[in-house]
Structure 1
């Protein structure tokens, strides 16, 4: 009597590998990090050709006298309906240090802003992206004087107050509720740090 034997689709070892693949893919689509504080030297290695990608709702990125840094970072919003707002709380670069801002997921093509020694908070103002990505390329020379660097607040927002499920700023921007009452002006008009946001 001939008995038909079905071959095993997965061996025990291949099942383990499959589980790890599924878990890895599920973390890839994870939600955005809420308000985070990063020093640029902890995010960037010395090689410019290995950019870092992070999905965020809000981040405070600081730089302080880094020597010989070549860094590319790309931030992405949690939703394609969001854009980024970039605002400097501190900006003091020397003429051999350059910060490029790109409206997109790479550091190629035309930059949105090129900041160096002639750039001040006043003349840079607030930078808005048109996409849900922003890429920063930061290049410094071999010697930086004390106090050289920046403090950059990056916030993901929606421009339309219609359908805002989170916090609506006075300027009608819609930002994550987790970015309120943290002593950081994410709205741009500081309304996320007032009684409007129920801050103590």
Structure 2
């Protein structure tokens, strides 16, 4: 897309066109899909206040540990409309005055899919699936969080059979990004992305270390 500004000299026109092109590239980068990212909830909340955009992810690990006075909303989006999200907690230990609301959509409005607090356990919550390609989390904490409070949430974008899978096909027939296999995180839900089924080898341990540090 060319930028035309009447009344400018050729040199000025070139500078404005160059800056406009750079801006376009930056905007495209903002909507690129993150393959598998590790996020701390407080950092995500800070980023969302500054730059509230839907974050496209193939997979994400979100951790929380004894945050005080949080009240933020974060929205994730799958790469395509053919995908939806699977959520699994590896840790869930919230304070009774803390709430993690899960919404099946792009906004924290209407009926929530889950309201998690101190009475919620990993076993009770189990695996949560969205119906569409958007997921919104709203996290509220009080000023007196204990050191043991928090959660570790695994989010995975997936397709279901009979959709043709060009990436990694889990044993449970879910189709996930190939970049999520052999990274030490159970994205399939049946752990088949971390076994010989996914052709994981000894080099996977190096990749897991590098991924955790990124």
TM-score when normalising by structure 1? 0.89
| Cα distance in 2 between the residues matched to 1:139 and 1:52 | 19
Q: Secondary structure at the match of 1:63?
A: strand
Q: Is the helix fraction higher in 1 or 2?
A: 2
Q: Deviation of residue 8 (structure 1)? A: 6.8
What residue number does 2:111 align with? 110
* Alignment of 1:130 onto 2:131: yes
| Cα distance in 2 between the residues matched to 1:49 and 1:7 | 35
Q: Deviation of residue 103 (structure 1)? A: 0.6
The farther-off stretch of 111-120 and 11-20 is 11-20
- RMSD value, Cα: 2.2
| Cα distance in 1 between the residues matched to 2:140 and 2:47 | 10
Is the contact made by 2:31 and 2:55 (CA closer than 8 Å) also made in structure 1?
no
Is the contact made by 1:46 and 1:71 (CA closer than 8 Å) also made in structure 2?
no
Query: Would you identify which runs of 4 or more consecutive aligned residues in structure 1 move more than 6 Å?
Result: 6-10, 46-50
1:8-157 map, 5 Å? 11-30=13-32, 32-45=33-46, 51-157=52-158
Q: Secondary structure at the match of 1:44?
A: helix
| Cα distance in 2 between the residues matched to 1:24 and 1:46 | 17
| Cα distance in 1 between the residues matched to 2:23 and 2:8 | 20
Aligned residues: 194
Unaligned runs of 5+ in 2: 1-5, 202-214
C-alpha spacing 1:46/1:94, structure 2 compared with 1 (3 Å): farther
| Cα distance in 2 between the residues matched to 1:61 and 1:46 | 14
Is the contact made by 1:46 and 1:69 (CA closer than 8 Å) also made in structure 2?
no
Q: Deviation of residue 51 (structure 1)? A: 4.3
Q: Deviation of residue 161 (structure 1)? A: 4.4
Unaligned runs of 5+ in 1: 1-5
Is the contact made by 1:77 and 1:84 (CA closer than 8 Å) also made in structure 2?
yes
C-alpha spacing 1:50/1:102, structure 2 compared with 1 (3 Å): farther
| Cα distance in 2 between the residues matched to 1:175 and 1:47 | 26
What residue number does 2:207 align with? none
